[in-house]
Amino acid sequence: MNQADVSKLISQLRIAVRPNKRHLKNVDGPEGRLLKLRKTVTALVKHERIELFYNRADEARGYAELLISNAIRHGDRHKATMELADYWLLEKQLVHKLFKVLVPRYENSNISYTRMFKAPRDYPGIFYRKSVLELRGNPFPVLTPDNSQNRNLLHNVLLDEARKEFRREKLANLANKLAAETENATPSTPAQVPVTEQPEQSEEAPKA
Amino acid sequence: MNINVRILTKSVAQQYAFKRIVTFSTKPTQQAAAAAVPQQQEVTGSTVRRPIVPAHYRFVYPEFLPDPKVEWRNTIREKLERLDMLDRRRQIELPEFYVGSILAVTSSDPHAAGKTSRFVGICIHRERCGLRARFILRNVIDHQGIEVVYELYDPTIQKVEVLRLEKRLDDSLFYLRDALPEYSTFDENMEVESLEEGAPVPVNDIKVVLRPRPWLERWERQNLLGVANIEQYIKDKHRKSSEKAQKPWEKYDLMKQYRATIPEEEQKEIFAEVHTELHTLELQRKRNKRKRTFVKPKHLA
Amino acid sequence: MLRTVLSDLARLRLSGGACSVTQVREKGHLSRPRLRNPYWFIRQQRLQTDDQVTGENRSFIKEVIHDTYGTPALIKGVQTYEQKQLIKTDEAPISTEPWTPNVRRCGLIARKIGQYPLWLKNGERIRTTLLQVVDNHVIKYIPPEEYKPTHQPNVKNLNRYGCVLVGAESTNPALLTKEYCGIFRDSGVMPTKNLARFIVSPQAALRPGTPLNVGHFRVGEFVDVRGKTVYHGFQGVVKRHGFKGMPASHGVTKTHRRPGNIGGGGEKGRVWPGTKLPGHMGNRWRISKGLRIWRINTKYNVMWVQGSAVPGSTNGLVYIYDTILPLRKPQEAPPLPTLYEQPEDEAPDDIWYEQVHNFKDETISFKPE
Amino acid sequence: MAATTKLFRKSLGALTQIQQYRSIAKLPTSASSAQRNELFNLEQRRQQDAIGRVEKIEVRYLGLPEDVTLVMNNNISTPYNCAQHLSEGHCKRSALALIDGSVPWDMHRPLQESCTLQLLNFNVSDPHIVNKAFWRTCSFMLGAALQRAFKQEANLQLHSFPGPNIKSGSFVHDIVLGVQNWEPTKAEMRAISAEMVKLAAQDLRIERLEVDLDLAKEMFSDLRFKSEQLPSIAQQHQSRVTLYRLGEHIDISRGPMVGSTRFLGKCTVVAAHKLANEGASNAFYRVQGVALPTGFALNHFAYGLLEQRAQKLNSARLPTEPFEEQRQMQLS
Amino acid sequence: MAQILLRNFARAGNAALLTKSSNSSSILATSAEPGNCQLHTTPACCEIRKLARLRVVDNSDLGKRAMAEGRPPRCIHVYNKRGIGLIGDKVLVAIKGQMKKGILVGLKQKQRMKQPQFDSNNLVLIDDNGSPLGTRIHVPIPTVLRTILKEKTLAKGADYTKVLAIASRYV
């Protein structure tokens, strides 16, 4: 491969793509590999959140993303895309879901259509890494609650205060500099200096 | 723009799709092409800062797209390479051509100082990208088949003329090596067959006749469209083995296709960078051509 | 807290100050790839966890970083930080002694960004590798009398040479460990992802904070490039040493890709040291020496060096030194200690070696003699 | 690691002023400390014996994994015992208990009546109460660390620590030293921090005991500042005084505090400011530090900002000022 | 019958063909289809090494007769150190029972950039002094031969540049 294939145009994926595919050991070779992935993609579209081994999920993720992005790009009137959907979705009612549910859901999104999480692996159990693969906007409760919004955590309280102090100091510095400049430029305008400092001090008062 | 106009019609646009492969992008190409034209008119009307890149640029300048292998990519390198390519293109006219077009390449010959060598032939293959882009010309001279590999950006190349701009049914024509010699015989003193401005690049649907076996490659496995008599020489065992070698699932292997292409967003970025430069060069070339056509009748008169 | 104590101690060790030299025993004489760093190496990467910091505070931390070090900027094609307060070109260099052929200069840290062909003026095509010097800054200079490294570099008369610590690719210090950031504290340079030490003569000493650019080298000179070769894993002899293997048929069973005989019997009935056998391939430090610089781009800090076999993968790190090959050493004085780039200088973007065809020039044609 | 540890020791040995904590028995002040501990133990036993008949109370636990009602012993069972009924994770994670939804309660303080119980850790949605308790514990631990860190010659006397104010950026302990011109070096501060870290590593339980004023006076008879403070504290609490013990270190505090020293994660003692002279040779110093609970992996740069801010003199009530104000502030 | 024979020949290989050449040629000439009447059924060797078949492209009598009979010369020695002939190399060939020297003027192998690659391995017969046996070469020869043969002439003493003189066309 020395030259990009120009016969096709594909939208950029919003996920990190491995440079090479995984072979996902299969007796039927590449065809069997695709069948394996078709099952996963079908399950993903059907259940919207699935738990499975990491490698297979990571491989299937790209296919699912491309399938959705193609569906968004071409719509359901495009024969080749329909053929694709027919191939990738083993249960045919899901073709309908793809075009009528998922396409409107993701039409205006700027981020990837799927999410993937590393899942803990059972111990003792099979050694392989596990993961959770889900479509964005699924009806299930979120897996990783976002804790970064809690501003009452101790370090956030400390940082908040540090930030306020930093801003105050910065403003004071700025005011001083401005005052110095105005003094240098026109030494006969001391009236301006308190004016610039005034709001800053008044700001300080309520905080303290 | 003329170039845009010629891919407007639906029938024409289909010619861009290589028939061997089912394409999933024919429609947006048309859409983009259709969209490009009115926008282009807007450009002429009002001043839009971002140049709108015609959709067919990826076919005309495929070497501007980098190698899709992720491990080898680097944006700075690609940018420097593109700058060098543009610098070279400013020195020499490198016209639009495709596999199947007939070219004449004039290059300065280090083995005969002060002289140039001119080779006429059909382009049977185009490969590699960036400054490494190259193509293979084939011709039969004095009943002797000859092939020469040229690098597109080699600074010893003095002139690249397109004698006949056309495409063939396949995207590489190595089977001409096993075809009867008349299919790759071209007159060295061929006149330039100028295409109507704005006309689509015609597809030559000639089917070549192969010589009997032994062949250099197993053509029966490659689903060639431009070969007439392949059925004549294959037996059941060939048919069976060729059936076995087919990979019908590959047209559904989306990730494989993704890894072999440059995504549309990146293509746009790349061509937006070089588009203005290439466009001015194209215009310049057209002006030169017109001048030449004006000059000719004067000589005759 | 304990960590800060450790970091200070570790820095003491790095500067080779008062602490005693511990003897380090090598695993063997073979050049094995190092699987892990020695225990006394300072850990660079912090364990990345969710800090649970609110968005406001996160932007506050970022603001402080930008205030202390500089705002993010794209400088010479590298995403880095604008560390304006560092550039101290007006300061007098540490040493003003003139250049002699025996002077060892500082090197550079670069990334191998790919390769493409150039053409010479005689029509010959050469393959070149592009090396981009990525945002290099001097971090520390240790004079000869203080430089007592635990690991002796393979340099003759080491006591005559000092050491310059160079960092490349500034990065957010919040992503690194505190002890690693301690290395940069005295210089005021933003912590960098990559570090390299260069053994230099005292004449070539550099002040901390000096930015190093590709102008350190000149077109036409020869350089040595050191990099870590691409790792191929455990490979057999056919791939690793280019053995021919054995035929596919003609009675050969199970030995198609095996080495065959590896030695005689009798007194020499053992495997001789150095016998080519299967093993790990690649992932070793290798130097390709005496590569000519064909072209330099000062806008993106890129140099084109001879050959496409520079060790390392594309986008991998390499170190560039002045060549040690005696016949290819420079005849004229190179910039010593380095070329201080002035922002107002109007240097050409591209500097071509005289033999190389510039793409802006006309098509090459051969003149009859 | 051996080499670094050796060097670590060496550097510590070189420090003036401060000695490494070896054993309490060797410290000359330990005589009174041992006595104090003995009194504490005796009082503790006395209070336990005084309970008499065991009464059952119903404690309604609210929270994860599910709300349950536990039948516990009155005046004996602590929230920690309740947590033990729930899971190991609850025991390990809970820093403070909340009784009836509003009253903060030490993990090791016996429950006194039927109530609802919530177990708090530092990650709850509103960790205000537990943060405050943590900050107070830090001040308290700093006292213990200072006790351990200073040599006898330094003539250290703990004065007090003002109520926790997290927004000030630092926790504080005011001390009196027998030196008037002590300028703490970095290494000294680091040694005190190391003591804090050691305390945290020892995972000491923080015990609470309410005693009579008389007993308290007896316990703190040899500490001038403490005995001066006692009457005014006792006055507000019906002549009862709340004491906290950490290892061998006992101090007066209103509480509540977190259950164990284990909850101290990242910790730095950043500065010691001289406040005023005391007498001819002594002087007041304010030792300040900043800390985060365990499990808060703040990156070093952000933590460095907090450290920098903590270096500034804390504006809390000075030890030389009248004591009443502090009480009021704590009450508010 | 003829077809069976042909198949046998193909299996038996070249040695058998050479010994029975008179027989087989007559059979083939009379009965085989025009497309199939090739003497050698193994694909041509891409490398010029010993026993590689070559095509004589000059108009020397010997060469013309050999080619016309369908018994092209075989390389039996390459005069260089590698044993594999490159363009411009001198080879020893067995042609119609004689040993003759020749110069390779066109190869089927992959060539360098801008140098032509031919569909057959072409040979020009020369004598010991380097002067060609024929008077004309009827296919194009690569211009790189100019440089190569000039260099060889200087180094080896024999004058190979006469080959250049009889060339009809360069590419």
Which value does ipTM take for this structure? 0.83
Q: What is the per-residue pLDDT for C267? A: 87
Q: What is the per-residue pLDDT for B29? A: 39
Domains of chain B: 56-288 (2.30.30.790)
Per the domain annotation, does C236 fall within a domain? no
Question: A186: which strand partners?
Answer: none
Side-chain-side CA neighbours of D55 within 13 Å: the count stands at: 12
Q: What is the per-residue pLDDT for D295? A: 87
Percent with pLDDT over 90 in chain A: 75
> Closest-CA residue in chain C for D302?
C61
Q: Look at C145 and E154; give whichever has higher pLDDT.
A: C145
Strand E90-95 with E74-78, pairing:
antiparallel
Pair A108, A155 in one domain: no
Q: Do B156 and C364 touch (CB under 8 A)?
A: yes
Q: Do C9 and D4 touch (CB under 8 A)?
A: yes
Stretch among A30-39, A184-193, E133-142 having the lowest mean pLDDT: A184-193
Strand C136-142 with E74-78, pairing:
unpaired
What are C150-206's pLDDT values in tens digits? 878 888 889 999 999 999 999 999 999 999 999 999 888 999 999 999 999 999 999
A and B make contact (3+ CB pairs below 8 Å): yes
**Between C52, C61, C64, which is nearest A150 by CB?**
C52
- pLDDT over 60 at C27, yes or no: no
Q: What is the per-residue pLDDT for A187? A: 53
Q: Provide the token pair at D144.
A: 């213990």
Stretch among A93-97, A126-130, D21-25 having the lowest mean pLDDT: D21-25
Stretch among B146-155, B211-220, D318-327, E120-129 having the lowest mean pLDDT: D318-327
pLDDT in tens, chain B (301 residues): 344 433 333 333 343 333 333 333 333 334 444 444 444 443 344 444 566 888 889 999 999 999 999 999 999 999 999 999 999 999 999 999 999 999 999 999 999 888 999 999 999 999 999 999 999 999 999 999 999 999 999 999 999 999 999 999 999 999 999 999 999 999 999 999 888 878 899 999 999 999 998 899 999 999 999 999 999 999 999 999 999 999 999 999 999 999 999 999 999 999 999 999 999 999 988 888 777 655 544 454 4
Q: What is the per-residue pLDDT for E55? A: 94
Per the domain annotation, does C73 fall within a domain? no
Per the domain annotation, does C361 fall within a domain? no
Is B76 in contact with C300 (CB distance < 8 Å)? yes
CA of A145 vs chain C CAs: smallest distance (Å): 11
Q: Do B148 and E119 touch (CB under 8 A)?
A: no
Is C304 in contact with C359 (CB distance < 8 Å)? no
Q: What is the per-residue pLDDT for C274? A: 85
Pair A164, A95 in one domain: no
- pLDDT over 90 at A194, yes or no: no
Pair A42, A138 in one domain: yes
- Using omega within 30 degrees of 0 as the cis cutoff, is the peptide bond preceding C191 cis? no
Q: Which residues contact B135 (CB under 8 A, 6 or more apart)?
A: B97, B103, B123, B125, B126, B127, B149, B150, B152
Per the domain annotation, does A2 fall within a domain? no
User: Could you give phi then psi for residue D160, rounded to 5 degrees?
Assistant: -170, 175
Q: Provide the token pair at C206.
A: 């550099």
Per the domain annotation, does C256 fall within a domain? no
Q: What is the per-residue pLDDT for A198? A: 37
Q: Do A155 and D122 touch (CB under 8 A)?
A: no
The sign one gets for the Cα dihedral A122, A126, A127, A131 is negative
Q: What fold does the segment set E45-165 form as a domain?
A: Ribosomal Protein L14 (2.40.150)
Pair A176, A140 in one domain: no
| Residue A65 CB burial class (10 angstroms; 0-12, 13-18, ≥19) | buried
Number of domains comprising chain C: 1
- pLDDT over 80 at E29, yes or no: no
Q: Do E138 and B142 touch (CB under 8 A)?
A: yes
Q: Do B68 and A34 touch (CB under 8 A)?
A: no
Mean pLDDT of D156-167: 90
Q: What is the per-residue pLDDT for E40? A: 57
* Residue type (1 letter), D267: C
Q: What is the per-residue pLDDT for C91? A: 63
Stretch among B213-227, D249-263, E13-27, E66-80 having the lowest mean pLDDT: E13-27
**Between B127, B256, B264, which is nearest A9 by CB?**
B264
- The CA distance from C139 to C106, in Å, is 12
Q: What is the per-residue pLDDT for B293? A: 58
What confidence tier does C92 reach under pLDDT thresholds 50, 70, 90?
Answer: low
Q: Do D127 and A152 touch (CB under 8 A)?
A: yes
- Rounded to two decimals, the pTM is 0.83
Per the domain annotation, does A135 fall within a domain? yes
- CATH number of C165's domain: 2.40.30.10
- Final residue in a domain of this structure, among A144, A174, A199: A144
- pLDDT over 90 at C4, yes or no: no
Averaged pLDDT score across all residues of chain E: 79
- The CA distance from C178 to A126, in Å, is 38
Q: Do B114 and C368 touch (CB under 8 A)?
A: yes
Q: Which residues contact A33 (CB under 8 A, 6 or more apart)?
A: A23, A24, A26
- The CA distance from D100 to C60, in Å, is 38
Q: Provide the token pair at C321.
A: 């030194």
Q: What is the per-residue pLDDT for B7? A: 37
What confidence tier does E45 reach under pLDDT thresholds 50, 70, 90?
Answer: low
- What count of other Cβ atoms lies within 10 Å of the Cβ of residue E21? 14
Per the domain annotation, does A136 fall within a domain? yes
- Between the CA atoms of D76, D77, D78 and D79, what dihedral angle is there, to the nearest 10 degrees? -160
What confidence tier does E15 reach under pLDDT thresholds 50, 70, 90?
Answer: very low
Probe site for chain C from B64, B79, B131, B156 (most C CB atoms < 10 A)? B156
What confidence tier does C88 reach under pLDDT thresholds 50, 70, 90?
Answer: low
Q: What fold does the segment set D18-43+129-331 form as a domain?
A: Threonyl-tRNA Synthetase; Chain A, domain 2 (3.30.980)
Probe site for chain A from B244, B252, B267 (most A CB atoms < 10 A)? B252
Give the ranges where chain D is alpha helix by DSSP (H). Answer: 2-13, 30-49, 79-86, 88-93, 128-149, 186-202, 213-219, 224-236, 300-310, 324-331
A175: containing domain: 149-207
- CATH number of A51's domain: 3.90.1030.10
For chain A, give the DSSP string: --S---S---PPPSS---SS------TTHHHHHHHHHHHHHHHHHHHSEEEEEHHHHHHHHHHHHHHHHHHHHH-TT-HHHHHHHHHH-SSTHHHHHIIIIIHHHHTT--S-SEEEEEEPPPSSS--S-EEEEEETT-SSPPSS--GGG-TTSHHHHHHHHHHHHHHHHHHHHHHHHHHHHHHHH-TT-TTHHHHHHHHHHHHHHHH-
Domain ranges of chain D: 18-43+129-331, 56-121
- The CA distance from C298 to C304, in Å, is 11
Class of the domain covering D56-121: alpha beta
Q: Chain A: list its partners (3+ Cβ pairs within 8 Å).
A: B, C, D
Averaged pLDDT score across all residues of chain D: 86
B111 touches chain E (CB under 8 A): yes
Per the domain annotation, does A7 fall within a domain? no
Q: What is the per-residue pLDDT for B268? A: 93
Number of domains comprising chain A: 2
CB contacts < 8 A, C to D, total 58
- The CA distance from B153 to B130, in Å, is 9
CA of C63 vs chain A CAs: smallest distance (Å): 10
Q: Write out the H or E segment, with its range, that includes residue D288.
A: strand D282-293
Percent with pLDDT over 70 in chain E: 74
